A and B are shown apart, each in its own frame.
Chain A
Amino acid sequence: MSETILSLKGVEKIFGSFRALGPVDLDVSAGERLGIIGPNGAGKTTLINCITGVYAPDKGSVHFQGRDISRIEAHKRARLGISRSFQIPRPFTGMTVLENLLVPLDYCHVDGSKAERAHAVLASVGLSGRTADASETLSQLELRKLELARALVGNPKVLIADEAMAGLSDEEIDEVLEILFALNRSGVAVIMIEHIMHAVMRFSQRIVCFETGRLIATGTSAEIADNPLVQKVYFGE
């Protein structure tokens, strides 16, 4: 078993009187492929906002490579190696595709030529032909690819893909999955949050299921598919 790279201990997030998340305990190993599932409102996005630093947890702690990062700002977590893509693509409009990748390269201190690194990553996701185009002109699939390229250009150790395949066709889902598999082969732990079950089942070595902010089940794809609690969440009594 690989060493734990990311660890959540008793993490809770409360908005007013609504407990959106927790308490959650979760460990992610280096190089792991972890799937996170759960219905809408289960707390999946709140969880990754707590990991990436968009939200500070109200209780509990987040540890990355053994270091408590619970109170560290989001940009510093990104520099440490925690990267994410967004559920709804958020390209840096007003910039070209290449410039979108130069932003993290400007701030994440990657060795070597920035332009070379950006071109190499764009080639790896199949966007080499669009480098000089404005990000506003990209298709939905290309926007998803740009999100992933921007997330991985800074050499992350953990990549969180938040519904990176939403709205894509089966062929397009295969393309995105291939990018994520390739990234994982290079040693990056990938956390996939997804509603497309066949994709998350195919990709993940381990899946955790959330409901109303709590982790209710964990296991392999087969174990999760057979879990009565998960079946109840998705299909009812």
Chain B
Amino acid sequence: MTKNSILFLVGIAIVLVLGFLMPWVLKNPFYFFVGYVVLQYVTIATGWNILGGYAGYINFGAAGFFGAGVYLSAFLFTTLGLPLPLCILAAAIFGAVLGLLMGYLTLRIQGVYFAIATLGLVVVLETIVHNIPALGGASGMAVYGPRQPFWSPGPSQFNFTVMLIIAAAAVTLARFVEISWIGRGLRAVRASEDAAECSGVPTLRLKLLACALSGAVLAAAGAPYPFYTSYMEPVTAFSLIIGLNAIAMPLIGGTRSWVGPVLGALLLASVQQIATVTISSELNILFVGLVLIAFVAFAPGGLAELFGRKQRRARS
């Protein structure tokens, strides 16, 4: 294991320990209520970036995977009484299968056609949920989550810690993909698919793998959501803002490394939460749009590349 990998794992361990301890130090549950959303977007942005960032295949269907995770998890918990970790695991597996299916049907097309095809996934899944009364149909249904365990002081703090664990697992997976032969192959695909194929890279299989991993993370991000809100409805679970943020956050943070989506999500989701409380929740989308335009125009490599460039300049 390299020195960087050890440092990374130590960092993840420290974050997790802090995540378990903080609920006992900070007494106001609102921080954890807001923190949950930020971590949810860290997970979503990280999952999206495995396919959209590393392989360069822009997926507009993130909300489809997220919503699938929301509904499957709630269904398994309320009807079968499965414990929360199993619900999350099942959602991740379902997301991976959904990703494989989407990939198999769409990966032979590229560019804007691929993006449009993925957008169709959200519409299809949302329509299916609308027509299943057992899932609450269009009006949605109330979901009562598990009681918080002894090691957590309240439900908001518990949801926060669960989301932190999922986010940490997602970031660890993304980093593993990035530094391994998988990531190198995906980045080669992004640069030139023909050149990658002629260098021995099994491009189609690698893209399918990226679809599966990305789908798994996105669906896992949605799994605890019904317990966080105690209510689920198609409009929220398959919301446009989830799909928009999934793209905007990695683009703002930088798509070439696992750091980018984390930075982008921390920045954008935090500002969105502050704007929601202090100004208006409707301004969120306007804010996302403005920041996205600014980054595409002035820092197309995102925050990660901007910091990297400054560091290199300082060193030289």
Binding site for B on A (CB under 8 A): 52-54, 73-75, 78-79, 83-84, 86, 90-95, 99, 102-104, 106-108, 150, 154
Contact = CB atoms under 8 A, between A and B. Distances in A.
Contact of A104 (B192, B200, B203, B256): B200
A225 B188 CA distance: 41
B187 interface: yes
Contacts of A102: 184
Contact of A106 (B184, B190, B191, B203): B184
B202 interface: yes
A90 B192 contact: yes
Given A73-B197, A74-B197, A90-B195, A107 B187 contact: no
Contacts of A104: 199-201
A74 B184 contact: no
Nearest to B202: A75
Given A78-B198, A83-B198, A102-B184, A92 B192 contact: yes
A177 B187 CA distance: 30
Contacts of A103: 184-185, 188, 196, 199-201
Most buried by B among A73, A78, A83, A92: A92
Interface of B: 181, 184-185, 187-188, 190-192, 194-203, 256
Given A90-B192, A94-B256, A106-B181, A54 B198 contact: yes
B122 to A, nearest CB: 29
A93 B191 contact: yes
17 contacts: A73-B202, A75-B202, A78-B197, A78-B199, A79-B200, A84-B198, A90-B191, A90-B194, A92-B195, A102-B184, A103-B185, A103-B188, A104-B200, A104-B201, A107-B199, A107-B200, A107-B202
Most buried by A among B184, B188, B190: B188
Contact of B200 (A78, A90, A91): A78
B196 to A, nearest CB: 7
Given A106-B184, A106-B185, A92 B200 contact: no
A227 to B, nearest CB: 32
A94 B200 contact: no
Given A78-B198, A104-B199, A154-B199, 16 more contacts: A54-B197, A54-B198, A74-B197, A74-B198, A75-B198, A75-B199, A75-B200, A75-B203, A92-B191, A94-B190, A94-B256, A95-B188, A103-B199, A104-B201, A106-B185, A108-B200
A186 B201 CA distance: 25
A108 B190 CA distance: 19
A72 to B, nearest CB: 12
A136 to B, nearest CB: 10
B194 A54 contact: yes
Nearest to B204: A73
Contacts of A94: 187, 190-191, 256
